[in-house]
Structure 1
Amino acid sequence: MRRRLIQSTLAVVLVVIAVFGVSLVIVESRTISNSAQERVDSEAVRLVGIVDSRLLGSEDVTAEILRDQVTQDRYAVIRIPGREPIAVGSKPGGDVIHAEERGEGGETVRVEEPRSTITREVGRTLLIIGLVALLAVVAAVLLAIRQANKLASPLTDLAETAERLGSGDPRPRHKRYGVPELDRVADVLDSSAERIARMLTAERRLAADASHQLRTPLTALSMRLEEITLTDDPDTVKEEATIALTQVERLTDVVQRLLTNARDPRTGSAVSFDLDEVIQQQLAEWRPAYRSVGRAIVSSGKRHLRPVGTPGAVAQVLAALIENSLMHGGGTVALRTRVTGNQAVIEVTDEGPGVPADLGARIFERTISGRNSTGIGLAVARDLAEADGGRLEMLQAQPPVFGLFLSRTAPQKRTSHDEEPMVR
């Protein structure tokens, strides 16, 4: 592209120089010739006047007197009737330009000038025009190189940016070139890079969230299926298969919820649901894992609460908190329900060392973890809670207490069983 720009610019300049240069040479040549002729004519007139004045004054007219009146390199012949011709200067050879004038006394004056003087002057003019044309060509080439670099370099940068986008590097460059059209292309590429970056981030986040959220349910489902393969009791097979089908439905809900949250985090399907049922399901699912490490999981608090939310999302939030306690906590894990204002609160606590002081509120940030874990679980849990209009907070660091706050419907009529502990 640089070569084409330089060649096209140079071609335009050469055409312009050829058209105007030739015209200028012709005009200047004619001007120089006319000017030389006018000078010779003028000198002839002037010499005639001098000769006339001297003849009228009865003064001598000699070559010595007229020599100083004739311009150097010119030749003059004065013819006076009855006298010998008077020659002043050296007679030029070759082609000449001349002028001849007749005076009042019958004398004639002829002035000659060699045409070589015109040729020399035309040559000097041609040399000047040639130098100017050469300077114009050099300037045009330099300008063409500058313009070519100004246009080609941005195009190269834009091509590299597009190639980086195609190779999976969506970082915007925010580089502008001072050319409106190229800057417009750069703006579009940067906007596309930002959109691609957001899309890739969302996809990676969805993949990480799905991997994290599905890992434990799939493990539990695998254990159920293994138990089915190891038993011959039809009742046990039926029971385990029923539980496995329930877990499959929960997995489907998890996937659907993750996809919905990835498209629009504020999209939810909140309904009034039985909180006891969700908690009991979580206890049944996690109790085998806790037993395997010699720990217990229990629940207590207010019963028959019907908060507003998505049961599947609430189950995932509780699963994240319970798994967090299993991995990082210690002792018995307790789920306690209570009411504050028009909100139902589920608190999850354990007897472990708690959250390190250097983490604090950053515990809900992605990739933040007190140990070598992914740091995704609590971040996903908070997103799910907020999608349902609730919130997830760390109420206490040591011992750790996490609270899930959900809006609830108008409280139901109190019964004698409202404060009874849930089945453990």
Structure 2
Amino acid sequence: MRRRITSLTVLAALVATLLFALPLGIAVWQYYHDDVKGDLERAADATALAVSEDLNAGRRPTVPSFDGPDDEAEGEVGIYAPDGRLLAGHGPAVGGPVEQQAARAQEDVVIGREGGEIALAVPVVSGPRLTGVVRAALPLSQLRLRIVLTWLGMAGLAVVTTGVSWLLARRFTIRLVRPLEQLATAAERLGDGDFTARSPRAGIAEIDRVGEALGATATRIGETLERERAFSAEASHQLRTPLTGLRLQLEAALETPAADPYAAIRAGIASADRLERTIEDLLSLGRERRAPRAELDLDALLDEVRQAGEALLAPHGRGLRIMRQDPPPARVAAAAVRQVLGVLLDNAATHGRGTVTVLARDAGDALAIDVADEGPDLGETDPFATTPSGHGIGLRLARGLAEAEGGRLRLSRPDPPTFTLLLPATAPA
């Protein structure tokens, strides 16, 4: 990329120089021709004034010296008689076409090429009579030399300009390409899983915007992946609750071989159904976009809680009590509430004692669901903190699900341990 940008910059400089040099070269050619013509004309006029008196008197004229336009190469001046003979000065012995034209037409100035020279002729007249012709000439080689030297100087300047353009192009290409290379490196690191990869600011607005967009994308991907990892860990913990209930039912059936096996099979199928529903709930809650919330069917939810709680508590000889105290309606995801209550029941079955009580009540502008057991006082401990053994993962997931629905999950009383799920109530129509 660096070579391409440098090549394009140098090519643009060459094209611009060429477009500028062509008309300038033509202007130089025209300028030197006009300059030589002016010098020859001044020399011829000065000589005509100096020898006009001698020509009018019929004396042999004396030709003054003449310096060429570059002040180093001398031009030649010759004085010719009306019949074309060279009277004085330098030039061909017989006047050429330029002198003859000036003698015939008696024009003020006649210029043209004769051999290898550029010649200019001026007639010298006395009244109506032509007394002579003054010829000033300069070798064409000198004129061409001046033009070529100027063109060579222009070409050298063009080379210098192109070289400077190449140097500047390399410098600015490095400044432009280096941030892009750093941006590509950051993108490669992001592709390799390094979500902390960032591109340094380059001071170029367009590249900085791309870098900021890449950084924001890396942040979003990192947060999403971290959230997915955390959710996977918490969800795997959550799946243990129905699996534990199913295992306890199967173990209870094995310990009582005389009992009706069909009852154990039906209980196992019910636990498998709850496990399947748990998986569906977790998949639904794991999606970022969820369907609009419908009104929570509290009766069906409490019936599912009763079945899950009995499956967990009955093998340990513990009871479950579910009560209602005019609970208000709420628009929340039933899957989220079901999983939160499942976590609380599993927590009560694992760490609690005695009968577990589930109370759905009115808490002002919220639907409150209390889950309490007769376990020991929790004191100042934080039940939502994750321990090295993995305890607390389920409660942390439950709190996250409650907050996602606009509610709260908190330890409302440490003795006896009581967790309260608060959900925003639906305003009455």
What TM-score results when the alignment is normalised by the length of structure 2? 0.67
Structure 1 residues 45, 338: closer, same or farther in 2, change over 3 A? Answer: closer
In the TM superposition, 1:189-338 aligns within 5 A as: 196-197=221-222, 200-201=225-226, 203-228=228-253, 232-235=257-260, 237-263=261-287, 264=289, 267=293, 270-273=296-299, 281=307, 284-287=310-313, 303-305=323-325, 307=327, 314=337, 316-324=339-347, 335=357, 337=359
Cα deviation, 1:8-42, whole Å, max 9, x if unaligned, reads 44345435544653554344224313321331122
Aligned equivalents of 1:221, 1:104: Cα separation in 2: 137
Contact 1:221 1:244 in 2 (8 A): yes
SS for the counterpart of 1:273 is helix
Displacement of 1:200 in angstroms is 3.5
Equivalent residue for 2:121?
100
Equivalent residue for 1:49?
49
Displacement of 1:122 in angstroms is 1.5
Equivalent residue for 1:379?
396
Structure 1 residues 149, 397: closer, same or farther in 2, change over 3 A? Answer: farther
Residues paired across the two proteins, number: 385
Q: Which has the higher contact order (CA 8 A, sep 6+)?
A: 1
Displacement of 1:130 in angstroms is 1.0
Aligned equivalents of 1:125, 1:276: Cα separation in 2: 102
SS for the counterpart of 1:392 is strand
Aligned equivalents of 1:129, 1:208: Cα separation in 2: 76
Cα deviation, 1:78-107, whole Å, max 9, x if unaligned, reads 4689x9955499xxxx94433333323524
Structure 1 residues 303, 332: closer, same or farther in 2, change over 3 A? Answer: closer
Structure 1 residues 79, 398: closer, same or farther in 2, change over 3 A? Answer: farther
Among 419, 422, 426, the residue aligned to 1:402? 419
Contact 2:246 2:268 in 1 (8 A): yes
Displacement of 1:252 in angstroms is 1.9
Structure 1 residues 153, 326: closer, same or farther in 2, change over 3 A? Answer: farther
Among 389, 393, 398, the residue aligned to 2:410? 393
In the TM superposition, 1:110-125 aligns within 5 A as: 110-125=135-150
Which amino acid in 2 is paired with 1:378? L
Contact 1:344 1:408 in 2 (8 A): no
Structure 1 residues 212, 306: closer, same or farther in 2, change over 3 A? Answer: farther
Aligned equivalents of 2:10, 2:209: Cα separation in 1: 29
Equivalent residue for 1:422?
none
Cα deviation, 1:293-344, whole Å, max 9, x if unaligned, reads xxx97767x84557457777555324423555677x6877864747455645
Aligned equivalents of 1:167, 1:149: Cα separation in 2: 26
Q: Percent identity?
A: 28
Structure 1 residues 189, 267: closer, same or farther in 2, change over 3 A? Answer: farther
Displacement of 1:135 in angstroms is 3.1
Displacement of 1:48 in angstroms is 0.8
Aligned equivalents of 1:35, 1:192: Cα separation in 2: 70
SS for the counterpart of 1:103 is strand
Displacement of 1:53 in angstroms is 5.7
Structure 1 residues 157, 306: closer, same or farther in 2, change over 3 A? Answer: farther
In the TM superposition, 1:37-76 aligns within 5 A as: 37-52=37-52, 62=62, 66-67=64-65, 73-76=74-77
Residue 127 (1) aligns with residue 152 (2): yes
Aligned equivalents of 1:387, 1:5: Cα separation in 2: 52
Equivalent residue for 2:108?
none
SS for the counterpart of 1:233 is coil
Equivalent residue for 1:415?
none
SS for the counterpart of 1:102 is strand
Which amino acid in 1 is paired with 2:163? V
Aligned equivalents of 1:122, 1:69: Cα separation in 2: 18
Equivalent residue for 1:420?
none
Gaps of 5+ in 1: 410-424
Structure 1 residues 144, 134: closer, same or farther in 2, change over 3 A? Answer: same
Which amino acid in 2 is paired with 1:270? L
Aligned equivalents of 2:20, 2:7: Cα separation in 1: 20
Displacement of 1:215 in angstroms is 1.8
Structure 1 residues 50, 281: closer, same or farther in 2, change over 3 A? Answer: same
Contact 1:261 1:387 in 2 (8 A): no
Displacement of 1:191 in angstroms is 7.1
Aligned equivalents of 2:51, 2:346: Cα separation in 1: 130
Equivalent residue for 1:32?
32
Cα deviation, 1:149-198, whole Å, max 9, x if unaligned, reads 56655655565565455544566858687576x78876876676566556
SS for the counterpart of 2:136 is strand
